[in-house]
Amino acid sequence: MDNGTLDLHLEAEYLVARFMGKEAAMIVSMGFATNSTTIPSLVGKGSLVISDELNHSSIVFGARVSGASIKVFKHNDMKDLEQVLREAISQGQPRTHRPWKKILLMVEGLYSMEGSICNLPGIISLKNKYKFYLYLDEAHSVGAMGPNGRGICDYYGIDPSNVDILMGTFTKSFGAAGGYLAASKRVIDYIRFNSHSNVYAESITPPILQQIITSTKIIMGEEHGNDGRRRIQQLAQNSKYFCSELKRMGFIVYGVDSPVVPLLLCHPAKIPAFSREMLKRGIAVVVVGYPATPIITSRVRFCISAAHTMEDIKWALEQISEVGDMLLLKVSEENGERVKKEKKKLQ
């Protein structure tokens, strides 16, 4: 690796491995590259990648570059996943029908555009049955999900040993840059010598490494007392309250227990209108439309923070409600039923 390896790199990798409950870890200087350059080192011709249809573009890119065969299953649909697995295993490789050298299932812990959480218990059940390898992308869930902030395994209370490779980034909860891979020492050593992100790229700089180390220790409760645990609990409370209030108002909202809250805008013309109206009220939002989403599922994505006070959230909800009324966005079935009941009472 260019720029060499410092004691801080080793300390950060040891800390990440301990935090994730794995034997070893490797840090990468870029989050996108953590997936896109690692996947080709894990699979190739004769291997099969099975990917959730809503996986991040870094996973899609890495799988395509690898040269492995790719099959896609419906988002979070365990029945469809099992059907894909059964067909792939029974048919084997194209033309030769030989057994696959390796089958790697790739999913995200928390899907950033949907706010949905992967069905990890269901996936582990299928893993035990069909004996594939599991690669879990925790870019949006590590540091945010679970009672200890350790991500989706922590959220479900599942032993990390059930997941072969845990991947994550330091750009969200850690406020830094880069990404990591956590797995057995044998797997990490193999990736370290075969991944382009480690062999050819520059190493993470010391200031960013220190940020990673300090933020990880805070989350683990090894610095600043109980502040890390308090923030994780506050984030969960803020997320649940914000999401439930949006639903109560009549908005169509995706996700459960997620700090990423997508609100459906539906019509493409409402995307710039919603953004402008929110900006007038002093709130900057991220709006997403086609081709990042299907045309009729344009959305705004809210990212909740532990630093948001209840006053902040209530004020933001008031502004969102006003804009929702203006743009006729309160169209959920629950809201429709509630309006009907209120009309009947008035009659």
- Which whole-number Å values give the CA distances from 247 to 218, 244, 264, 271, 284, in the listed order? 33, 5, 11, 19, 21
Query: Closest by alpha carbon to 77, among 60, 52, 55, 57?
Result: 52
- Which whole-number Å values give the CA distances from 124 to 169, 183, 189, 212, in the listed order? 23, 16, 25, 30
Confidence (pLDDT) at 3: 64
C-beta neighbour count of 11 within 10 angstroms: 14
What's the residue count for the chain?
A: 347
SS3 state of residue 162: helix
Q: CA angle at residue 19 from 18 to 22, to 5 degrees?
A: 50
Confidence (pLDDT) at 340: 47
SS3 state of residue 160: helix
pLDDT tens figures, 223-271:
988 999 999 999 999 999 999 999 999 999 998 888 999 999 988 999 9
Query: Closest by alpha carbon to 65, among 42, 91, 82?
Result: 42
Strand partners, 70: 49
Q: Is 182 left (phi over 0), alpha (psi -120 to 50) or beta?
A: beta
Q: Give this prediction's pTM.
A: 0.90
Active site members = 112, 140, 172
Residues with Cβ < 8 Å from 315, sequence gap 6 or more?
A: none
Query: Closest by alpha carbon to 323, among 302, 306, 343?
Result: 302
Q: CA angle at residue 151 from 238 to 17, to 5 degrees?
A: 140
Instruction: State which H helix or E strand residue 107 sits in.
Output: strand 102-108
Give the largest CA-CA distance in the chain. 76
Confidence (pLDDT) at 332: 80
Tokens standing for 313? 């959230």
For the chain, which residues score pLDDT lower than 70?
A: 1-3, 333-347
SS3 state of residue 146: coil
* Contact assessment for residue 92 and residue 98, using Cβ atoms and an 8 Å cutoff: yes
Instruction: State which H helix or E strand residue 72 sits in.
Output: strand 69-73
The sheet that has 298-303: what strands, in order across it? 260-266, 298-303, 286-288
What is the secondary structure of 254-322 as a DSSP string? --SS-SEEEEEEESTTHHHHHHHHHHHTT---EEE-TTTS-GGGEEEEEE--TT--HHHHHHHHHHHHH
